[in-house]
Chains A and B, each alone.
Chain A
Amino acid sequence: MRFMFKTDYEDDIKLFPHGGYIVTYGVLLAFLAVAPFVLSSYLVSQMVFVFIYATVGVGLMILTGFTGQASLGHAAFLAIGAYTAGYLQQYDVPFPVYFLVAGVLTGVVGAMVGFPALRLQGIYLVIATISFAFIIEEILARWESVTHGNEGMRVKAVQFFGSTVSRDSPSFYFLCLAVLALAILATLNLLRSPTGRAFVAIRDSETAARSMGVNVSLYKVKSFAISAAITGFAGVLFAHKMSFISPEMFTLQLSIEFIIVILIGGAFSPHGAVLGAIFIVMIDPFLTYLKDDVPGMIAAVAATFGAGAETAAAVKSNVAAFASANGLKGAIYGVIIVLFVLFEPLGLYGRWLKIKLFFQLFPLYKRATFKRQKIYVKSERNR
C-alpha cells in the first residue's frame, strides 16, 4: 500500500500522482506507437474507431459525467463536425483549417443548444436533446445544396501539407491517437481549473453551487460548447475514416451508443471513455466470432461429452441460428446496459478501481466504500 503524503494543493492536482503512472502510461504509449506496424490492418482499423469513439466519449463525459447534464443528441454534434469537414474539403480548404473550423462551429452550435437547455432539467433535457438531434438529422437530409441529402457525401482522404493520408494508413492512426490524447489531456487540465471545479459543483448540487457564487448558466453553456466542440473534432476524423457520410449514420441509435460508451466505461474518468469505446467497437467483431466460430466449438464440446454426430450437428445449427439471429446486437446492448446500471454504475473503470483497492487493502476491503446513496426523499419536480 502506497501512502500519498500531500503537503499542498499543487500535490493534490498533479496529473501523475506518482511515478508508477508515468511508467504505466509510458508502456501503453510505446505499445500504441508500435501497434500499427505489428497488428493486422483490421485490428488497427478497429483501434482507429476506438480512438474516435473515445474522443466523443471524453466530450460527452464533460457534459454528462462532470456537469451532470444528460444528452442524447451527441450524434448531431458528430454530424455537424463531419459535414463541415466534407463541405469545406470540396473547396480545397486545408485540413488543419477545416479541422479547427468544424470544432469551433460545433462548439457554437453546442452553446446555442446550451442556452435553451438552461431552463431544463433531468428528463426534459434528455427529451430536448433528442429533439435537437432529430431536427439536425432532418436538416441534413433536406438541405441538399450543402449536404447532398440522403444520397450522402463522399469525403476524400486527408491532405496534410501536400501529402495524402489515406484512411487506413498508420499516419491516420497516429492522427486519431493524437486527437484523443490531446482531448484527454485538455479534459484533465480543464478539471483541475476553476471551470472544471465549477462543472463538478453544478453536477453535485446546483443549488449549492449557486450559493457559492458559481454562475450556473454560464458554466452550463460552457460545458455544452466544450463538449460539442470535442465531438465536432471527432466528427471530422469520423468523416475521413468512413470516407462517406449520410444522414442515416447519425441517428438516435448512435447517440445512445455514445451514452453506452461512458456508461459502460465509467462516467467519472477518461479511462472510462476509452474502455467503453473498446467495448462498443469490439462488439461487432465479437458477434462475427459468435457466428463463425462458436457453434463449431460448442458442437465439438457436445461431441466430446458423448453426443452422436447427428446431435452435435443439430446443436451446431441451433447455436448458429441463435448467433446469427437478427437483432442479437440490440439484445446484447439492452442486457449490458441494464446489468451495468443495476450492478456496476461506476462502469468498467470503477470495477478496476475496486479490484485495485481490494488488493491494496487486503484483507480490510469493505464494500461500503463504493456504496451509492439512495435518495427517496427528493422530488425532482420541486427542484
Chain B
Amino acid sequence: MLDFVQQLVSGIALGCVYGLIALGFVLVYKATEVVNFAQGDLMMLGGFFAFTFIGILGLNYWIGFAGAVVAMALFGMAAERVVVRPILGYPQFSIIMATIGLGFFLRSVAGMIWGTDDLKIETPFSQGVLRIGSLVLAYDKLSVIAATIILCAMLYLFFNRTTLGTAMRASSENMLAAYYMGIPVKRVVSIVWAISAAVATAAGVLLAPITFIHSNVGLVLGLKAFPAAVLGGFGSIPGAVVGGILIGVIESMAGFYLPQGWKDVAPYIVLLLVLLLKPEGLFGHHARKKV
C-alpha cells in the first residue's frame, strides 16, 4: 500500500511537470489555434538562460529566475514575429512545420553555445525532503506541484476574467471577426507567445534540479506533454494540468507494476485510446459545423 501511495505521489509530481509544459501548448493553441512544437525547446532555452544568470553571472536565484522569465518572454515575442506571424492564416500544417524547424534550430544552437553536458542550477529547493509519516517527498518536486497549481489558477483567471483573455479567446475562434471588433489580433498573438515562453521558462527553471538542463530535455519532455494536453482537451487550461497528472500517474504506475518497456509507451497508448474514444479530451468542447 505504501508503495502504491509513494508511486502515486511521485506520479503526481512527474505529472505536474508534464502539465506545466502542456500549459504552454494549450495557451498558444487557445489563442491562435497553432500548436507550438517548439514549446519544449523554449523550456530548455529558459533553463539555459537561468543557468547563465544564476550559475555563470552569480545572481541571486530569484533575480536570475525573473531575469530568465523576462528574457524568454521577449524571445518568445521575437520568435513569433519572425517565424509565426508571416504564416498566420495558412494551413495549420505549415505552422506546425515552422515550429518544428524552430525547435531543431534552438536545440542545435543551444547545444553549440552551452555545450552538451548536463548543467545544474543551485536552487533553494535542491535539497531536503518533506516527511509525512513514512511518505517521502523531495522539496524540488513539491515546488513543481505548487508552481503548477499557482500558474494554472492564474492563467485560468486570466483567460476567463480579464479583457485581454477574452480577446485571446475571440481571436482564436475567428481572427477576422475579432479584428473587426477592434481587437489588435497581431498584438494579442504576440502577447500570448510571450506568456507561453514565460510559462515554459518557469517550467524549465523548476525542473532544473530534477531533470538537469541539456539541449534535448525539451524534446523529450515536450513529447510527453502532448498526451497530457490531448488527454485534457487541447484548449483547456485545467485540462492540461489534470491530463498531465493522469499521464504522470499512469507512467509511474506502469513503470512499477508492468514489465519493463511499458513505462515509455503507456502514455502514448493512453493517448491513442483517448483519441479513439473521446477525441475532444476530458475537458475540451467539441463543435461540428453543420452542412
Which residues of chain A are near B271, meaning CB under 8 Å?
127-128, 131
Q: Is the CB of A138 within 8 A of B101?
A: no
Q: Is the CB of B96 within 8 A of A70?
A: yes
Which residues of chain B are near A330, meaning CB under 8 Å?
104-105, 107-108, 111
The reply on A142 being an interface residue by CB < 8 A is yes
The answer to whether residues A116 and B104 also contact, given A345-B94, A377-B177 and a CB cut-off of 8 A, is no
- Determine, out of B66-74, B130-138, B168-176, B196-204, the stretch whose residues face the partner at the interface: B168-176
Q: Is the CB of B275 within 8 A of A124?
A: yes
- Please give the distance in Å from A240's CB to the nearest CB on chain B: 28
- Give which listed residue, B179, B288, B291, contacts A211 with CB less than 8 A: B291
Majority SS of interface residues in chain A? helix
- Please give the distance in Å from A123's CB to the nearest CB on chain B: 5
What is the total of A-B residue contacts with beta carbons within 8 Å?
Answer: 158
The answer to whether residues A334 and B106 also contact, given A141-B261, A263-B97, A341-B94 and a CB cut-off of 8 A, is yes
Within 8 A of A (CB), among B245-291: 260-261, 264-265, 268-269, 271-272, 275-276, 279, 286-289, 291
Which residues of chain B are near A379, meaning CB under 8 Å?
33, 172-174
A: interface residue count bin: 35 or more
Which residues of chain B are near A334, meaning CB under 8 Å?
101-108
Q: Is the CB of B96 within 8 A of A128?
A: no
Q: Is the CB of B101 within 8 A of A376?
A: no
The reply on B162 being an interface residue by CB < 8 A is no
Which residues of chain A are near B116, meaning CB under 8 Å?
326
Q: Who on chain A is nearest to B269 by CB?
A: A135
Q: Who on chain A is nearest to B226 by CB?
A: A127
The reply on B98 being an interface residue by CB < 8 A is yes
Q: Contact string, A242-254, partner B, CB cutoff 8 A, digits 1/0?
A: 0000000000100
- Please give the distance in Å from B3's CB to the nearest CB on chain A: 24
The reply on B48 being an interface residue by CB < 8 A is no
- Please give the distance in Å from B119's CB to the nearest CB on chain A: 16
A200 to B92, CA, bound (A): 18
A130 to B287, CA, bound (A): 25
Smallest CB-CB A-B distances: 3 pairs:
A334-B105, A337-B101, A334-B104
A-B contact pairs, 10 of them (CB 8 A): A116-B272, A134-B223, A327-B215, A331-B109, A331-B112, A334-B106, A338-B101, A376-B176, A378-B174, A383-B289
Interface residues of B (CB under 8 A from A): 29, 33, 35, 83, 86-90, 92-98, 100-109, 111-112, 116, 172-177, 179, 215, 223, 226-227, 230, 234-235, 260-261, 264-265, 268-269, 271-272, 275-276, 279, 286-289, 291
Interface residues of A (CB under 8 A from B): 64, 70, 116, 119-120, 122-124, 126-128, 130-132, 134-135, 138, 141-142, 207, 210-211, 252, 256, 259, 263, 325-331, 333-338, 341-342, 345, 372, 374-383
